[in-house]
Amino acid sequence: MREANHQTGHKAAALAGLHAEIATQSAAIEQQVIAWRRDIHQHPELGNREYRTGALVASVLRERGMEVVEGIGGTGVLGILRGGAPGKTVVLRAELDALPITEQTDVPFASTVTTTYNGVATGVGHMCGHDCHVAILLGVAHVLSKAPRTWSGTVLFLFQPSEEGAPDGEDGGASVMLKDSRLTAMHPDAFFALHVISNMPVGAVAYRAGAALASSDIFRIRVDGKQTHSGYPWTGIDPIVSAAQIVLGLQTIESRQVAVTEEPSVLSVCMINGGIKENVIPASVELAGTLRAFDEAMREDIHRRIARVAECIACSCGAKARTTIRPLYPVTVNHPELTRRIVPGLRRSVGADNVFEAGKLSASEDFGIFLRNYPGSIFYLGCAPAGIDLRSAAINHSPLFFVDEAALLLGMKCMASVAMDFLADFALDVGGPVPVCSSVL
């Protein structure tokens, strides 16, 4: 018993020393991480097109002496860092891609990149925070490469393309990466990730065990009528009026057809396209949107209801509706035990009073695909400036989304601590209850 206690004490002391080194090295690299983030932010790239970003990542990892695998899952990059002895393998993941959103912030490094997406001219911007995730993970790679290799096992730094979804007609993201034997041959034991979030202040971190982020599906509805003169609508079949009724009818699925007290779900129509002339009733209209859910049976039930509502309403107007639904991401389910075990590392990194338990979020994450195949967890990193009214903070995917860069240092410390705690199979418990964070309920 005395020998076991001695070994435990020695292990705790070694891990405490490693975490102290992580804090020191993270502070030393902070300004470089901010510079990386600003460079990536100013040069955003859409999914499956992250050539410049991937090249930057590969270059930085090689400079830190890592084995680097490029072209994984398309434009992705894998960095391999081995510890002082064999052990478990932990994957830390960040996303490379930006969004087809025109940035409206006034930061000096704002994106001015433009492109055509789905036939529409648009700006391109890191309005979800993936630029922060890449910079943070590059910082963690630097920190752990500089720290003494007193730890056992392997850290895989996985930089994923196309988290926001592949372009039409292409595959991408986590599902493609998991088909690449260069990743699976490393036999990962766990996956971890973080996501910056603007409805928590910088300094705050939140986690959730179990179902944490919603599934995501894209639905498209084509409503076919009969084209005619706008002054004589009775001579045709108006698909615009049918489509308008379908939009309203779809909202009754959430409000009147599913048990909202069992699990939340969100159905949003985000696109309506039809017509090219103000005095011509068109032949067809297309609707598109997303469904978010937390229960697979409810998700499938809502799929059926979407098609039924669209088809029946169209039929009542004399039109026809055809519905297609493309599943994107499953529910992101954090492994309960591994999530519990990351709490001490999060508390150590930002202070015990700044770590919260979150409620379910109706956003979706490609990371859920990894977690269907391997245990792991994703946690949230507050990035709103301290003192701001969180109700006025621009949410992720807004053209005004803003990140307080003080979050980058905290993100580095959190991710490095989580990885080292997992590989050590031992966490330094800092104690105390975990409050619930109402801002991310």
Active-site annotation, residues: 329, 405
Structure tokens at 399: 């053209």
Q: How far is 340 from 369, CA to CA, in rounded Å? A: 21
Tell me the C-alpha to C-alpha distance, in Å, between residue 175 and each of 79, 86, 90, 171, 324: 19, 28, 18, 8, 21
* CB half-sphere exposure, 433, CA atoms < 13 A: 3
Report, in angstroms and rounded to the nearest whole number, the Rg of the chain calculated over CA atoms.
24
Q: How far is 169 from 186, CA to CA, in rounded Å? A: 30
In 3D space, the residue among 333, 349, 368, 369 whose CA is nearest the CA of residue 419 turns out to be 349
In 3D space, the residue among 267, 264, 240 whose CA is nearest the CA of residue 253 turns out to be 267
Collapsing DSSP states into helix, strand and coil, what is residue 311?
Answer: helix
How is residue 73 annotated by DSSP?
T
Q: How far is 74 from 163, CA to CA, in rounded Å? A: 12
In 3D space, the residue among 368, 333, 376, 366 whose CA is nearest the CA of residue 90 turns out to be 376
In 3D space, the residue among 317, 306, 269 whose CA is nearest the CA of residue 289 turns out to be 269
In 3D space, the residue among 332, 337, 355 whose CA is nearest the CA of residue 422 turns out to be 337
Q: 123 Cβ partners below 8 Å, 6+ apart?
A: 100, 101, 102, 103, 111, 112, 113, 114, 115
Structure tokens at 319: 């039109």
Collapsing DSSP states into helix, strand and coil, what is residue 81?
Answer: strand
- What is the separation, in whole angstroms, between the first and last Cα of the chain? 45
Which residues make beta-bridge pairs with 191? Answer: 91, 376
CB atoms within 10 A of CB 303: 17
